Amino acid sequence: MAEFAQSDTASAQLGTLFVVATPIGNIEDISARAIRTLRDADLICAEDTRHSQRLMQHYQINTPMMSLHEHNEMARIEQISDKLRQKQTIALISDAGTPLISDPGFKLVRELRKQGFRVSPVPGPSAIISALSVAGLATDSFSFWGFLPAKSSGRKQAFNDLSQNRETLVFYESSHRILESLKDLYEILGDRELVIARELTKTFETVLSGMASSLIEKVAEDLDQQKGEFVVMVAGADDKLAAMDLATEKLMLALLEELPPNKAAKIAAQVSGLKKKTLYQWALEQKA
Ligand code: SAM
């Protein structure tokens, strides 16, 4: 049941840091409590104070702001803990969504908690949860990997490491790299079910779903589908095939041209690190 009587005015001894979620696109996606918390706080720590001005103006929030971003986070910790000791209430926001989720704030929260300060969430939007809520992929278990490495070799390594994971895999991606990342994903993870959530809650929101091969074609053909902000979600490794990636599939097919299934499976298991039994079963299924 919802509870309204929160003791938001902080603990008796010290101030509180509220970690406040803000919209990921649509400016109306902010809770009444978040607006009240931002209005009532003594100070708002914002990733980019200029960026957050629009939100403050829209909701007539006049609380003083101070920047807190990845380059000054460490230096800010002492300033903020001093203010909390003076029983001030501070709100932390990022440019969009929930702070700390691929955004600054981790070092601050960790240190303040270590020092015994109260850190309390004011929940709201986050791109990952919004995307999963409309993807139609399994959500009983998923893992979130933030932004993929910038270089193709790093991305391929990351996909390789995750190729056996059974849960839905979720990544953030920017417009600069979306197509290249999807190609790497397909090369390493194979033709899996994929969902690409773009510009959620904004004018050009699109959620594409299908097999990786066909979605890559769609994105490659339509430049509009390469613009904006993306959450990429991919189905976990198939139980039966236990993460038969494209490279291993190709290797097995080549080996099966020359060798019986058990020998092909033995060699492919040595190369791929997958279980020989899994590969053997896969080979039998191909023959069937
Ligand atoms: N803290 C944010 C959150 O809670 O989701 C994430 C911040 S991270 C710096 C920005 C990335 O989140 C974008 O590059 C994109 O991958 C994803 N993202 C943010 N807003 C989005 C939106 N409206 N639609 C799709 N993805 C979004």
* Domain covering 128-238, topology: 3.30.950
Share of the chain above pLDDT 90, in %: 83
Over residues 263-288, mean pLDDT: 86
Calculate how far, in angstroms, residue 210's C-alpha sits from the geometric centre of ligand 1.
22
Cα 234-235-236 angle, rounded to 5 deg = 115
Indicate whether 248 pLDDT > 70. yes
Q: What are phi and psi of 25, to 5 degrees?
A: 175, -70
The model's pLDDT over 143-180, given as tens digits with 9 standing for 90+, comes to 999 999 999 999 999 999 999 899 999 999 999 999 99
Calpha distance 180→94 (Å, rounded): 28
Higher pLDDT, 238 or 58: 58
Calpha distance 285→288 (Å, rounded): 5
What pLDDT does 12 receive? 54
Whole-prediction pTM value?
0.83
- Provide the pLDDT confidence category of residue 278 given band limits of 50, 70 and 90: confident
- Provide the pLDDT confidence category of residue 8 given band limits of 50, 70 and 90: very low
HSE-CB at 282 with a 13 A cutoff on CA atoms is 28
Indicate whether 32 pLDDT > 50. yes
Between the two ends of the chain, the Cα-to-Cα distance in Å is 55
The model's pLDDT over 75-133, given as tens digits with 9 standing for 90+, comes to 999 999 999 999 999 999 999 999 999 999 999 999 999 999 999 999 999 999 999 99
User: What is the residue extent of each domain of the chain?
Assistant: 2-125, 128-238, 244-287
Average pLDDT, the chain: 92
* CATH among 3.40.50.1950, 1.10.10.10, 3.40.1010.10, 3.10.20.30 for 2-125: 3.40.1010.10
- Provide the pLDDT confidence category of residue 3 given band limits of 50, 70 and 90: low
| Residue with CA nearest ligand 1 atom 11 | 172
Instruction: For ligand 1, say whether the CB of 25 is within 6 Å of any of its atoms.
Output: yes
Instruction: For ligand 1, say whether the CB of 127 is within 6 Å of any of its atoms.
Output: yes
Calculate how far, in angstroms, residue 24's C-alpha sits from the geometric centre of ligand 1.
7
**Which is the closest atom of ligand 1 to the Cα of 128?**
5
What pLDDT does 181 receive? 97
Indicate whether 7 pLDDT > 60. no
What pLDDT does 2 receive? 54
Which pair of structure tokens corresponds to residue 149?
Answer: 């490495």
- Provide the pLDDT confidence category of residue 6 given band limits of 50, 70 and 90: very low
Buried b (16+ CB within 10 A) or exposed e, 10-41: beeebbbbbbbbbbbbeeebbeebbbebbeeb
Tokens 């240190």 belong to 111
Instruction: For ligand 1, say whether the CB of 118 is within 6 Å of any of its atoms.
Output: no
What pLDDT does 282 receive? 84
Over residues 230-234, mean pLDDT: 98
Indicate whether 5 pLDDT > 70. no
What pLDDT does 246 receive? 76
Exposure of 221 by Cβ count < 10 A (0-12 exposed, 13-18 middle, 19+ buried)? exposed
